[in-house]
Amino acid sequence: MFVDEAKIIVRAGDGGNGCVAFRREKFVPRGGPSGGDGGDGGSVILEANPNDNTLLRFRYNPEFRAELGRPGQGSNKHGRSGKDMIVTVPIGTVVYDQDTAEQIVDLAAPGQRFVIARGGHGGRGNAHFAKPWHQAPREFEEGHPGQERHLRLELKLLADVGLIGFPNAGKSTLISRISAARPKIADYPFTTLEPQLGVVSADSGRSFVVADLPGLIEGAHDGAGLGIRFLRHIERTRLLAHLVDTSDFNDRDPLHDFEVIRGELRASSDALAEKPFLVVATKLDATTDRARLEALDKFCAENSFEFFTISAVTGEGVHALVRAMAEALDRLAPAVAHAAAPAPSEDR
């Protein structure tokens, strides 16, 4: 099950209390205050893990707590600091403060860490309060509380190519043809209810990741259909492949379909509207009336859009499309440079 949103609570550990103690040793006639400091509480650290691909586990385990700092002891012994709690999340997780909706960090790089809740400092023991005029202090400090934060996690998939288009445009069939991904395929709309990823091998040993994104419809940016929930997954892709159904079974105008989806991307954000894309006419094996196909071809030629025709069922044109995707990716910025720059980790 793919889950791309979750709400969690993180609690850092409280610092340990300082200690009140006095030296009482046989050969030390003048003892003194010897209360040690409390240990620091553990922090909660988020880490981007390439082996995770869903936020599902956070639905059933929404609370994470780091270890408390131990109190100080006599003989100036400091309490042990609490262990940090490391919480692994999928690469591409964006973390928001649930109360303010402010974005805190975007974990876009493998192994990237961020201290999301800092542990409290330990309190000072009475040894710190000794003065010439106050030689037997009984003052001490209590440990400082650790941070507690309510967070909203949002996963945006990392993929090189995103397949977009109306429902039943042939996206699932194409990704199953060019990769080992096996999404649900059926002859009714919205068969894909969650994004699917597949690794595609191109010529000369090149490979890239393709994401099959659930179908968009008019008004998606306002929440229609599957709405903006899946529009955000397009943000991470470097290249879009806009699939348009030109078959005889599609009673809509393919050119209108193309313009509608382009409009949805534009309404969602300028960044999506400016992404490079390929136009792919699908279901060539079921297209006997070529008039609408030719109209779409002419429109793309007039606007200098790269245009391809394929049949994912028979394989016609698929190899040329995969090669064009690989060549287009070679011309674009590498994935690491393209992704949002990761926020630096905070040191304790």
Q: What is the pLDDT of residues 125-170, one digit of tens each?
A: 999 998 888 888 999 999 999 999 999 998 887 788 988 888 888 8
- Name the percent of the chain lying above pLDDT 90: 49
User: 310 and 272: one domain?
Assistant: yes
Check whether residue 170 and residue 265 sit in a common domain: yes
Q: Taking Cα atoms as reference points, which of 211, 261, 198 lies closest to residue 239?
A: 211
Rounded-to-integer distance, Cα 169 and Cα 180, Å: 19
| Phi, psi angles (nearest 5°) of residue 297 | -60, -45
Domain boundary among the residues 155, 181, 204 is at: 155
Read off the pLDDT of residues 188-229 as tens digits, 9 standing for 90 and up.
Answer: 344 444 677 788 888 766 788 888 877 565 544 444 445 455
Residue 254 phi/psi, 5° resolution? -55, -40
Per-residue pLDDT at 47: 96
Angle, nearest 10°, between helix axes 291-302 and 254-268? 40
For residues 131 and 241, membership in a common domain is answered with no
Is residue 247 over pLDDT 50? yes
CATH number, domain of 49, equals: 2.70.210.12
Do 277 and 263 belong to one domain? yes
8 A C-beta contact, residue 123 and residue 78: no
Cα 228 to chain centroid, rounded = 15
Tell me if 104 is assigned to some domain: yes
Q: How many domains does the chain have?
A: 2
Q: For the chain, what is the mean pLDDT? A: 84
Residue ending a domain, among 136, 155, 174, is 155
C-alpha–C-alpha distance, residues 314 and 209, integer Å? 22
Q: Determine the 3-state secondary structure of 271 from DSSP.
A: helix
Domain match, 324 and 184 both: yes
Contact 261, 242 (CB under 8 A): yes
199 part of a folded domain? yes
Does 198 fall in a domain? Answer: yes
What 338-342 contacts at long range (C-beta under 8 Å, 24+ apart), as own/partner pairs, is 338/238, 339/108, 339/109, 339/158, 339/236, 340/106, 340/108, 341/108, 342/105, 342/106, 342/107, 342/108, 342/109, 342/112
69 or 345: which leads in pLDDT: 69
Alpha carbons 237 and 158: distance in angstroms, whole number: 6
Per-residue pLDDT, 318: 93
Which of the four pLDDT bands, split at 50, 70 and 90, describes residue 338?
Answer: very low
pLDDT at position 196: 76
Q: How far apart are CA 152 and CA 327, in angstroms?
A: 37
Span 255-310, pLDDT tens digits: 988 998 888 888 877 888 889 999 999 999 988 888 999 999 999 999 999 999 99
Residues 75 and 169 occupy one common structural domain: no
What is the pLDDT at residue 347?
A: 44
pLDDT at 220: 42
Q: Is 62 a residue whose pLDDT tops 90? A: yes
User: Domain check: are 186 and 295 in the same one?
Assistant: yes
Q: Is residue 340 part of a domain?
A: no
> What is the predicted pLDDT for the residue at 240?
93
If you average pLDDT over residues 104-114, what whole number do you get?
Answer: 92
| Nearest in space to 146 (alpha carbons), one of 88, 66, 73, 70 | 66
Residues 151 and 213 in one domain: no
| Domain identity same for 317 and 170 | yes
- pLDDT tier, 86 (very low <50, low <70, confident <90, very high otherwise): very high
Smallest CA-to-CA distance from 14 within 109, 148, 127 is with 148
In the sheet that 113-117 helps form, which strands lie side by side, from edge to edge?
A: 85-90, 44-49, 113-117
- Band (pLDDT 50/70/90 cuts) for residue 335 is low
Q: How far is CA 266 from CA 115, 261, 273, 276, 315, in A?
A: 35, 9, 5, 13, 32
| pTM of the model as a whole | 0.70
pLDDT at position 23: 84
Spatial distance between the Cα atoms of 260 and 270, rounded to a whole number of angstroms: 15
- 3-state SS, 155-213, equals ECCCCCEEEECCCCCCHHHHHHHHCCCCCCCCCCCCCCCCCEEEEEECHHHCEEEEEEC
Residues 124 and 173 both lie in one domain: no
45 plus 151 within the same structural domain: yes
**Which of residues 155, 185, 209 is at a domain's end?**
155
Q: Which amino acid is at 36?
A: G
- pLDDT digit string, tens, across residues 3-54: 678 999 999 999 999 999 998 777 777 778 999 999 999 999 999 998 887 8
Q: Does any domain span residue 341? A: no
Q: What pLDDT does residue 189 have?
A: 42
The predicted structure's pLDDT at residue 135: 85
Domain assignment present for 279: yes
Shared domain for 282 and 183, answered yes or no, is: yes
Do the domain assignments include residue 343? Answer: no
How far, in Å, CA of 23 to CA of 18, rounded? 16
Model pLDDT, residue 334: 63
Is the residue at 346 inside a domain? no
- Expressed in percent and rounded to 5, the helix, strand and coil fractions of the chain are 25, 25, 55
* Full residue range of the structural domain in which residue 233 is found: 161-335
Length of the chain counted residue by residue: 348
Distance from C-alpha of 137 to C-alpha of 153, rounded to nearest angstrom: 48
